[in-house]
Structure 1
């Protein structure tokens, strides 16, 4: 899923924040749908990096700490890259696009990574399971769902204050 393709709802329906100067302001006025769409966008990049990191670390037989570190690094790289892709399409200079991606995604990705890696480490045997083991894939899927559910209210709060994904909306 590409940030520029779904545009957080195609027309920002339900997105009423002070950032856009609309009638309502504040996080309570920011719709859950908008927050969920922003979280799903962020989760897409995060999940690509997270899954790739877990697969690389598990396949290579790396220590759990190294596997988690690779997963986190790749989640940030892919998360930022998806946001930058949409911003760069709006003819924004590369350096500015990097700054926008950092502002838009850092907190969201950090919360997601905290949650999904805590789940993966917390499920006994999940990181030690092989790639052909349902425990590995089930734990990874559960960790991403948990990350989505916990990060959505964080994104709702941030968007309502003109932060997080709200900074990207000006470039669509």
Structure 2
């Protein structure tokens, strides 16, 4: 594997971990809210997915905003860099939770709840990694954020 492949892999791993952090925060908060409220499967999954996107985009936008970009500049960069990665993670994560027997019915104190969530996030990471690698190699995904962030620093 050449130096550029190693650099691309490191960048893709970093982008995927970044995405995983936002997804995990949203997933956990969504499932905790839904479980504590006694919601059914569909609302539980819906709030988890919505919050995963909110946290994922927010984690991308915060450093951009701190660097001096406006909200109007940051939103399109976050959407361009994270949408496919978060969507990939959420499909894999949600399907995993749905297909693990008893996971959707497990309570917050159950090892099955946390174990299935951890396993789902692990699988989601490995599903999103090639997506991020492919996007970054083509100047898309998190490459867009780095480009936009770099342009602002040089302006």
Q: Number of paired residues? A: 147
State whether structure 2 residue 126 is matched by structure 1 residue 155. no
Q: Deviations over 1:9-34 (max 9, x none)?
A: xxxxx6x5xxxxxxxxxxx6762121
Would you say the 8 A contact 1:49–1:72 is kept in 2? Answer: yes
1:50-82 CA distance string (max 9 Å, x none): 110011111111010000000000000000000
Question: Could you list the runs of 5+ residues in structure 1 that have no partner in the other structure?
Answer: 1-13, 17-27
Number of the residue aligned with 1:20: none
Is the 8 Å Cα contact of residues 30 and 48 (structure 2) preserved in structure 1? Answer: yes
Q: Cα gap change, 1:86/1:46 in structure 2, threshold over 3 Å: closer, same or farther?
A: same
Deviation string 1:75-131 (CA, Å, 9 cap, x unpaired) is: 000000000001111211111100100001000000000000000011111010110
Paired residue for 1:109?
Answer: 86
Which of residues 52, 55, 62 in structure 1 aligns to 2:32? 55
Gaps of 5+ in 2: 151-155
CA contact (8 A) 1:29 1:160 kept: no
Alignment of 1:114-133 (within 5 A): 114-133=91-110
2: CA distance between counterparts of 1:168 and 1:99? Answer: 9
Equivalents in 2 of 1:135, 1:41: separation in Å?
25
Structure 1 contact 40–148 (Cα < 8 Å) conserved: yes
Q: State the distance in 2 between where 1:103 and 1:29 align.
A: 24
CA contact (8 A) 1:30 1:156 kept: no
Q: Distance in 1 between matches of 2:110 and 2:84?
A: 32
- Conservation of the 8 A alpha-carbon contact between 2:97 and 2:116: yes
Q: Select 1:37's aligned residue among 1, 7, 14.
A: 14
Q: TM-score, normalised by structure 2?
A: 0.91
